[in-house]
Structure formats: C-alpha cells, structure tokens
Amino acid sequence: MTNGPDLFSSDGPDQGLPGPGVGGSSADSGRALDPLAVRMRPRTIAEVVGQDHLTFPGSPLVQLVEASGGDRAGASSVILWGPPGVGKTTLAHVISHAPGRTFVELSAITAGVKDVRQVIENARRERDMYQRTTVLFLDEIHRFSKAQQDALLPAVENRLVVLVAATTENPSFSVISPLLSRSLLLTLRPLDDAAIADLLDRAVVSERGLAGQFELEPAAKDFIVRIAGADARRSLTILEAAAGIAAAQAQFAKATAGDSTDADADADADADADADADAEDEDEGDAEVDSEDSSDSEPRAILITEAACAEASSETVLRYDKNGDQHYDVVSAFIKSIRGSDVDAALHYLARMIVAGEDPRFIARRVVISAAEDIGMADPQALPIAVAASTAVQNIGMPEGRIPLAEAVTYLAMAPKSNASYRALDAAIADVKNGFSGQVPTHLRDAHYPGAKELGHGEGYKYSHDHPHGVAAQEYLPETLRGKRYYEPTGNGMERSLGERLEMLQRLLRP
C-alpha cells in the first residue's frame, strides 16, 4: 500500500537483526539463518504490497486482522487463490499476529479429517472458555478430498472457526460448492516487475535482509525480475543464492590478491636490499601510513553481478500444472491463436507447453482438432499435415517431435479459416435429435437382400455415373427435409471455388 509502512522497514520486532555473516547474539544468529524470503516476510497488513485491491480499509482481509471476537460483523472465512509467490502464506502469518485470536496452521498435504476435527474441538473450547476466535489456515486446500472439505462445513457455517484457505488451483474446480458459498473468494494478483524490483532493492539494504553488505547491479536486478516470473519468493531466493555466490567469489579473489601481494613484497625487498637507510625509512613510513588508512576504511559492499544471478538460476520456472488452470488457459490461448491466424502467438504457446513438459501427444491431438475445426475446407491440406505431425510425434518422440509440431502449427495459423463443415454437421445432428429424421427414400434403400425388391427398395434409383457430370437428378434427403441446406461454404481459401461448385451441383440435383 502506498501509505503504509516500508515493507522492509527495520522498525518492528526484528529490528537490528543481522544479515548473513554479521555477528550478533545466538538468537539473532539463528534468526539470520532463516531463508531470505522468510526474513523479509511482512508483519502487518499495511506492509503487504501488490494486493491493494484486497487490503483497502474495511476489506475482508483487514476485518479479518482487526475485528475482535465480540464483533457481530467482521471476520469472514476466506479462500485465497493465486499463483505461487504472491503472498497467500504471508497474509496468513499477518493474520496470525492479530490479537484475541488463536491461530492454527494445517497443510492439506499432511493433515486429515482427524486433524480438522481436533482443531474444531479445540476451537469450541477456546470460544466457550476464553471467548477467543480460532483462525484456521489451511494451505493447499485443493489437495483435500470432498469428504475432508465436508468436515469443515459446520464449523465454518457457525463461525466456530474462521477459515483462511490458500490454493493455487481454481477453487471452482478444486473446492466444493458448499464451502465456496460459506466463504469469500479473494484472488491475489501476480506482482508486476516494478514491485519485484522494489522488493529486491529493499532486501539488499534491510537489516532483515542482506544488511547492506551487498550491492545489486542493475543488470542483475533485471535478470532476477525476468527469471522470477512475478514470484516474490523465488526472486528473493535467487537473490540470496546469488549473494552467496558473489561472497564466495569475492573471498576467493581477496585470497588470490593477498598471495600476489606477498610475492610482490618479497621481490621488492630483494631488489631494495642495497638501498640507503634513508630511503628504507621513508618507504617504511609510507607503508605504515597506507596500512593505517587501509585499516580505517569501511569494507566495500560485495557486488552481485548478472553472472552470479545466472549461476544461481539459469532458467525461468513456468507456472504450468498439467491438471490445473495453466494447462487449460495455455491450451485455450494456443488454439485461439491458431484460429486467429497469429502464428507468433501460436508458436509462443506451443513453446510454453513444450518447456513445461506437456504430453506432446496431447498437443498433437489438439493440432489435429484445430485443423478440422478451424481450417476445414478452406484448406483441406491442413488436416493431412496435422495428422502427419501427430504420427511423427508418436514415431520419433521428443525433443525432435517439436519440429513437425512447429511445421504443422505454422501452416495451420497461416492457412485460410472455415468452420462451415463442422457447423453443417452440428446443424444436421440438431435436426436428428429434434425428430426431423424422416424415412430413408425408397429408391435409396438397400435392395441386395432377398425380398427387398418386392418391397420396392431401390426402385427408380439413378446410378450417378450413368449421367452427365456424374450427377443424377434425384432426391437424397428424407421427405421431411426436402430442400434443406446444411453446408454453406465461406468465401475463404478453397471454399470460394467450392461455393461455386456447390451451386452448380444444386442445379443438377434439383433442376
């Protein structure tokens, strides 16, 4: 928040804590061993950055922190939904510092129904005996089964516990509807580049962070911002690792320089052995002055370079879950980019799926579907190319399978588009489902089995190859659908000429 305290201000319960490598009490030293992302975690709701839409005065989160147990309105159960590193756990710990509350933290990875029921029983005791509200923070709630989530319902509905649940998965898919209806869904936004850069700057100078012992060069900061992918925790983790690398390199360079200085000093001593006493006294006096100046100077901050950051983390970690939102969102964007004829966007989303480890056979199937659905008869060659790419992927595997995939995606994105064929089929299916099937015309019925001709099957059928242009003028649709048109070609690509041919065929079929 713009008017709140500094996110990494040294004011607070951790004021004066040393950064890495700084001396202090044993308790302070133990605190300094915590990961940088933990040491820099905000302590109050005012220190939380990047989520202004959730931290305004009177917001559910602020009420959850500030409302007392006796308030008739205020704290409500909330579900925090957002990608990793945006502050879900941080908000839970901010809530834990609120007065008049009992804070309990569970992880859905390790907890079960028994643990939940124990928390609820303790919460009932706290409320009845001490008038204290229990706040239950449940991390990774999407990992709870339906039965496990059901166990929370009575306590949440009666506000026996105030639930703060965190998830990286879409709650619409991962949280049961009754629990959603009893909670407020709050969406946390990814931090932008400016916010991540500000966090890095503060972590470098804060006593809770690197305590000014390091200097982050601009190129290194830009690298971390880019590689962190809007994940605050990851950005601080990379910064801490890069600081360790920079410190080790500086220590090695200092040791190497010390050895070189000693060797130079020995050589100078041999060369000046015959010098007169006055010159030796003058040199010794200068050396003493230089030594005193050196001892009085402040130690220089260690520079964290882009190279150190690259060694700490060389690749961006994509937010991509094969069974979660990112899977469906990226695939959706991929198909829509092909449909929209943006070849660069299509290749970008293809690359994201490949880098994230998506099953290449799944990608190939989507490419085949896109060829039939979005290109269709505007370019009939698109489907064979897509099928060939799918076959190639299955035969050669990855990483080489990316090559035919790239070829197919490029072709499909640049091809003319038409969905007229499958729209025509959908219209025909709708008629069949609505009872507009009718009887197969008698002259089209099978006449090969005994007794069929006596029923009139095949009588009057015109063999198309016996007529001009290979087209016989006769009715093919059931009587109830006579004259019905399903396929309406577009003017795109090959369908332009197909439209002209269709009109000619209609005139021959129904003169």
Q: CATH code at 495?
A: 1.10.3710.10
| Confidence band, pLDDT 50/70/90 cuts, at residue 1 | very low
Domain stops at, among 289, 323, 357: 323
Alpha-carbon gap, residue 329 to 238, rounded angstroms: 27
Please indicate, yes or no, if residue 413 is contained in any of the structural domains. yes
378: domain CATH number is: 1.20.272.10
Q: Give the structural domain span for 252.
A: 192-256+300-323
> Which distant-in-sequence residues (6+ apart) come within 8 Å of 117 by Cβ?
151
Q: Are strands 161-167 and 78-81 parallel, antiparallel or unpaired?
A: parallel
Q: Are strands 78-81 and 184-187 parallel, antiparallel or unpaired?
A: parallel
Instruction: Check whether residue 112 and residue 221 sit in a common domain.
Output: no
Q: Name the amino acid, one letter, at 109.
A: I
Compute the average pLDDT of residues 61-70.
70
* 131: exposed, middle or buried (Cβ count in 10 Å: 0-12, 13-18, 19+): exposed
pLDDT score at 20: 44
188-211 pLDDT tens trace = 988 888 888 888 998 999 888 898
Same domain, 216 and 154: no
Q: Between 217 and 13, name the one with better pLDDT.
A: 217
Are 309 and 435 contained in the same domain?
no
DSSP structure class, residue 493: T
Confidence at residue 443, expressed as pLDDT on a 0 to 100 scale: 82
Comparing 177 with 316, which gets the higher pLDDT?
A: 177
Q: Which of 31-35, 73-77, 485-489: highest mean pLDDT? A: 485-489
**First-to-last CA distance in the chain?**
76
Read off the pLDDT of residues 278-295 as tens digits, 9 standing for 90 and up. Answer: 555 555 555 444 544 444
Decide which of 138, 160, 190 is a domain's last residue.
190
Residue 261, pLDDT > 90, answer no
In this prediction, residue 295 carries a pLDDT of 46
Residue 367 corresponds to which tokens in the numbers above? Answer: 């490419």
Q: What is the pLDDT of residues 339-367, one digit of tens each?
A: 999 999 999 999 999 988 888 999 999 99
Site of tokens 């059931």: 478
Domain co-membership, 78 together with 219: no
Degrees to nearest 5, angle at CA 494 with 493 and 497: 115
What pLDDT, on the 0 to 100 scale, is given for residue 14? 43
221 and 311, same domain (yes or no)? yes
pLDDT of residue 13: 40
Cα torsion through 200, 201, 205, 207, rounded to 10: -40
Residue with tokens 């019905």: 484
Is residue 11 domain-resident?
no
Query: 16 pLDDT band (50/70/90 cuts)?
Result: very low
Query: Is 441 among the domain residues?
Result: yes
Q: Which pLDDT belongs to residue 264?
A: 57
- 62 within a domain of the structure (yes/no): yes
Q: 104 phi and psi, to 5 degrees? A: -125, 135
Whether 115 shows a pLDDT value over 60: the answer reads yes
Same domain, yes or no, for 54 and 118? yes
- SS3 of 461, please? coil
Overall number of domains in the chain: 4
Tokens of 100: 């008049």
Q: What is the C-alpha to C-alpha distance for residues 493 and 380, in angstroms, rounded to an integer?
A: 10
CA–CA dist 431, 426 (Å, integer): 9
Residue 25 lies in a domain: no
Interatomic CA distance for residues 43 and 46, integer angstroms: 8
Domain boundary among 354, 388, 417: 417
Question: Do residues 221 and 350 both lie within one domain?
Answer: no
Give the residue from 307, 313, 356 showing the smallest Cα distance to 331: 356
Q: Encode burial over 458-493: b for 16+ CB neighbours within 10 A, e otherwise.
A: eeeeeeeeeeeeeebeeeeebeebeeeebbebbebb
Q: Does residue 44 sit in the same domain as residue 186?
A: yes
| pLDDT of the residue at 401 | 92
- Length in residues, the chain: 511
CATH number at residue 155: 3.40.50.300
Interval 316-327: pLDDT, tens: 555 555 555 677
- CATH code of the domain containing 208: 1.10.8
Instruction: Tell whether omega for the bond before 57 is within 30 degrees of 0, i.e. cis.
Output: no
Indicate the pLDDT class of residue 418, thresholds 50, 70 and 90: very high
Of 64 and 161, the structure prediction assigns the larger pLDDT to 161
C-alpha Rg value of the chain to the nearest Å: 36
- Residue range 4-8: average pLDDT? 37
The predicted pLDDT at position 461 comes to 86
In the predicted structure, residue 374 carries a pLDDT above the cut 90: yes
User: What per-residue confidence (pLDDT) applies to 278?
Assistant: 52
Mean pLDDT of the chain: 81
Asked if residue 21 belongs to a domain, the reply is no
**How would residue 63 be classed by pLDDT, with cut points 50, 70 and 90?**
confident
pLDDT bucket at 49, cuts 50 / 70 / 90? confident
| Buried/exposed 254-293: b ≥16 CB within 10 Å, e otherwise | eeeeeeeeeeeeeeeeeeeeeeeeeeeeeeeeeeeeeeee
Tell whether 329 and 310 lie within a shared domain. Answer: no
Using 50, 70 and 90 to split pLDDT, how confident is the model at 372? very high
Backbone angles phi, psi at 471, to 5 degrees: -130, 125
**Same domain assignment for residues 51 and 99:** yes
pLDDT reported for residue 508:
85
Find the Cα–Cα–Cα–Cα dihedral 502, 504, 510, 511, rounded to 10°: 170
- 50 shares its domain with 176: yes
For residues 487 and 493, what is the distance between their CA atoms, to the nearest angstrom?
A: 16
Residue 275 lies in a domain: no
Return the pLDDT at 316. Answer: 56
For residue 51, pLDDT over 60 is answered with yes
pTM over 0.75: no
Within 8 A by CB and 6+ apart from 412, the residues are 338, 346, 367, 370, 371, 374, 375, 382, 385, 386
Residues 370, 360 share a domain: yes
Nearest to 484 by CA among 410, 448, 430: 430
Q: Band of the pLDDT at 505, cuts 50, 70, 90?
A: confident
The half-sphere exposure of 324 on its side-chain side, counting CA atoms within 13 A, is: 17
| Digit-coded pLDDT (tens) for 450-463 | 877 778 888 888 88
Residue 510 — very low, low, confident or very high, per pLDDT cuts 50/70/90? confident
CA 40-43-48 angle, to 5 degrees, is 80
- Decide if 49 contacts 192 (C-beta within 8 A): no
Do the strands 78-81 and 101-107 form a parallel or antiparallel pair, or are they unpaired?
Answer: unpaired
Q: Is residue 106 part of a domain?
A: yes
Residue 504: CB partners within 8 Å, gap ≥ 6? Answer: none
Question: What DSSP string describes 218-240?
Answer: HHHHHHHHHHHTT-HHHHHHHHH
Q: Where does the pLDDT of residue 272 fall: very low under 50, low under 70, confident under 90, or very high at 90 and above? A: low
Q: State how far the Cα of 49 lies from the Cα of 341, in Å rounded to an integer.
A: 39
